[in-house]
């Protein structure tokens, strides 16, 4: 009997120590609690979504259903194929619309230049695509990058940064940093210093974009003239309230992030730490949680019904509190990164036009 009691006490002690370690790690890895006064809305671009949104939603749901039929090991590869071929057939021949694509290859970096008829080779825009760090490429985002080249008048460089799980998350970060350094001194016509430079990205690419803005400041590199985050992921701890409150209304991320959202928070944070090789609250993977002072003028666009809504709201609020210039534009009832449906979706055209206007305003500030 005494031996059994000793064994039970030992087991209880081990469990208590284990729970204590998990609790300490949770406090170490989590983001600061979201305070209600941090969340503030900005410019609402429309009162109601356009009728064309229904067709976009149908295509998203269809693509998600096709992925769910596959085994988990097949889903990443199929998602990459689906993104590169698009949610819909390419009903616009972008090359016939005056867009030129040039292959980009420097060292291990690959991608493409996207040039419109009005693109200035000395004014450059680095575009970092989305895809949850596991999918996406220069092909998947051509509707966005071709439109960006037109509305911005810049030479757009799209880099295929290294993806997980074949590579570490930090490899993609390193590729983004290397691409920016290279772009400062090189354009589509050769080694010429950029007269102006911009950074833009969506979702996971938005995370890299905002990371770069702070990294350039810390490295004392020439800052971008403006930053554009399209539905960016800013907090890798996934603890912002809209991650859960908007799960039912986010047709794209609702299924993609469903498994992650259902994992107990301490388990998710510890698992993320092991996978990322960085604390999920480290600013290198969670730009929201870093120093947001002295950043370039920044435009954020987000949907009010997407799971990453608070990632934009909170970033804008915290950056403004320390004096950085952030413009936040919100649209109702739209899917995550609705911009991919340009030109058929009116809201996508509007959002891209707003980006063009923001870049033009940044030019005025830098002259």
Q: Is 344 a catalytic residue?
A: no
Block residue for tokens 């210093």: 193
- Tokens of residue 299, six digits: 């435009």
What distance in Å separates the CA atoms of residue 290 and residue 235, rounded to the nearest whole number?
Answer: 10
Categorise residue 323: left if φ over 0, alpha if ψ from -120 to 50, beta otherwise: left
Q: Are 131 and 203 in contact (CB under 8 A)?
A: yes
Q: Are 58 and 335 in contact (CB under 8 A)?
A: no
**206: how many CB neighbours lie within 10 A of its CB?**
32
What distance in Å separates the CA atoms of residue 52 and residue 203, rounded to the nearest whole number?
Answer: 22
Q: Which of 129, 141, 336, 339 is catalytic?
A: 336
**130: how many CB neighbours lie within 10 A of its CB?**
27
**Beta partners for 301?**
230, 329
Q: Are 321 and 35 in contact (CB under 8 A)?
A: no
3-state secondary structure of 345: coil
Please state, in angstroms and as integers, the Cα–Cα distance from residue 282 to each residue in 136, 267, 276, 342, 344, following that order.
24, 17, 10, 34, 38
Q: Which of 112, 306, 347, 350 is catalytic?
A: 306
Q: Is 203 a catalytic residue?
A: yes
**Sign of the torsion angle spanned by Cα atoms 50, 56, 60, 65:** positive
Q: Which of 203, 286, 303, 317 is catalytic?
A: 203
- Tokens of residue 11, six digits: 């087991």
Q: Are 130 and 143 in contact (CB under 8 A)?
A: no
Q: Are 331 and 304 in contact (CB under 8 A)?
A: yes
What distance in Å separates the CA atoms of residue 53 and residue 333, rounded to the nearest whole number?
Answer: 8
Q: Is 306 a catalytic residue?
A: yes
Angle formed at CA 123 by CA 150 and CA 230, multiple of 5 degrees:
55
List residues with catalytic annotation.
Answer: 203, 306, 336
């Amino acid at each position: 009997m005494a031996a059994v009691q000793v064994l039970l006490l030992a087991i209880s002690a081990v469990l208590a120590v284990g729970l204590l370690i998990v609790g300490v790690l949770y406090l170490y890895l989590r983001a600061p609690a979201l305070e209600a006064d941090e969340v503030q809305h900005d410019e609402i671009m429309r009162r109601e979504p356009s009728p064309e949104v229904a067709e976009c939603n149908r295509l998203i749901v269809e693509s998600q259903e096709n992925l769910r039929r596959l085994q988990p090991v097949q889903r990443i590869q199929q998602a990459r194929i689906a993104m590169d071929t698009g949610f819909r057939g390419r009903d616009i021949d972008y090359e016939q619309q005056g867009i030129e694509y040039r292959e980009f290859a420097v060292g291990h970096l690959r991608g493409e230049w996207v040039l419109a008829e009005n693109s200035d080779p000395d004014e450059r825009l680095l575009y970092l695509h989305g895809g949850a760090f596991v999918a996406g490429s220069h092909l998947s985002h051509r509707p966005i990058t071709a439109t960006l080249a037109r509305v911005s008048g810049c030479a757009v460089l799209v880099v295929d940064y290294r993806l997980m799980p074949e590579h570490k998350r930090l490899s993609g970060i390193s590729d983004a940093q290397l691409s920016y350094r290279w772009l400062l001194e090189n354009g589509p016509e050769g080694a010429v210093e950029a007269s102006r430079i911009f950074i833009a990205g969506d979702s996971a690419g938005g995370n890299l974009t905002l990371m770069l803005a702070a990294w350039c400041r810390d490295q004392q590199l020439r800052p971008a003239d403006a930053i554009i985050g399209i539905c960016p992921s800013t907090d890798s701890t996934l603890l912002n309230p809209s991650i859960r409150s908007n799960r039912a209304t986010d047709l794209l991320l609702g299924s993609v992030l469903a498994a992650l959202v259902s994992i107990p928070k301490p388990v998710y944070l510890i698992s993320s730490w092991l996978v990322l090789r960085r604390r999920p609250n480290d600013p290198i993977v969670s730009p929201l949680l870093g120093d947001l002072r002295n950043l370039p003028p920044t435009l954020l666009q987000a949907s009010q019904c997407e799971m990453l809504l608070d990632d934009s709201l909170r970033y804008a609020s915290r950056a403004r509190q320390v004096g950085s210039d952030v413009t936040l534009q919100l649209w109702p009832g739209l899917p995550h990164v609705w911009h991919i449906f340009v030109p058929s979706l009116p809201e996508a055209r509007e959002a891209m036009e707003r980006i063009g206007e923001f870049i033009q305003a940044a030019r005025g500030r830098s002259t």
